[in-house]
Amino acid sequence: MPEATKSLLEEEKQRARDQWGKDPAGAVYGGAHEFGSREFFERVERHRYQEYAPWMREVMGFERHAGENLLEVGCGMGTDLLQFARGGAICTGVDLTPRSIQITRRRFELYEMPGTFLVTDGERLAFSDHSFDIVYSNGVLHHTPDTEAAVREIHRVLKPGGMARVMLYYRHSLNYWGEIILHRGLLRGQLLRGQTPEQIMGRCVEYGDETEPLVKVYSRSQARRLFEPFRTIDFEVNQMTRAEFHAFGPLIPEGLFRALRRRFGWSLIITARK
């Protein structure tokens, strides 16, 4: 790889460290409580699993991996990883950002749960081949510069027959075409002023005061190419809030809303077997 390209990739990763170090994902929802307190973590959990994504516990299978060695790539504040630990999984969490590892370690200690935590790059995992039964990554790999390398690393560290469950942002979602392309890109003129969809997402999807993180979206076919080394690949689409429909949101019948969520949701969940 040319040195100039390597330098750009490292700059992207440093921006990610800066972003998530200053503004840990999900922390805003616990802001009414002391950071790192039990009340803080429990408020973050309530928002994630009751208000934002009530489908997540079942779809991600937090309770289904007791006794299995599980790695989370990009563990953030350890919210999902703690659920796997409560379900009996033997948990390892890695993250590019040192502060994320500090927060996750604190969280596990607070709840007296065992776990292993390590600062490492998801594109170069610090584990031997065939180390894990499960590798989980939720909303992380679409931020890393070389997503293909990260998927290859997941494949490498999985045991034969092991499972990867990865969430990437979905290109054919209502959020992408409605909010990013139509609303911000065209109606607000950001595309016409030369901004790319990725730049728009960096400003409005996940952003900090000083940084604009790399954000990518994937179709099923693009994701299938990413996970080509795996033996089987399955997809599920999910995640939508009624607020995305503005004033019409409360008027949508629950059955129709559920169908829309599973067809045009923001999350593309990939389950791949090695």
**Domain-located, residue 40:** yes
What is the extent of the structural domain holding 164?
Answer: 3-171+211-273
Is residue 198 within 8 Å of 142, Cβ to Cβ? no
**Domain-located, residue 74:** yes
**Strands (DSSP E) found in 204-266:** 232-238
**Domain-located, residue 182:** no
CATH code assigned at 245: 3.40.50.150
**Domain-located, residue 197:** no
Residue type, 34: E
**Domain-located, residue 88:** yes
**Domain-located, residue 206:** no
Is residue 157 within 8 Å of 169, Cβ to Cβ? no
Name the domain count of the chain. Answer: 1
Please give the chain's pLDDT, 274 residues, in tens: 455 445 555 666 666 555 555 666 667 777 778 888 899 999 999 999 999 999 999 999 999 999 999 999 999 999 999 999 999 999 999 999 899 999 999 999 999 999 999 999 999 999 999 999 999 999 999 999 899 999 999 999 999 999 999 999 999 999 999 999 999 999 999 999 999 998 888 888 865 445 567 899 999 999 999 999 999 999 999 999 998 898 999 999 999 999 999 999 999 999 999 9
Which region holds residue 161: left if phi is over 0, alpha if psi is between -120 and 50, else beta? left
**Domain-located, residue 164:** yes
Which region holds residue 191: left if phi is over 0, alpha if psi is between -120 and 50, else beta? alpha
Compute φ and ψ for 175, nearest 5 degrees: -60, -45
**Domain-located, residue 199:** no
Is residue 101 within 8 Å of 118, Cβ to Cβ? yes
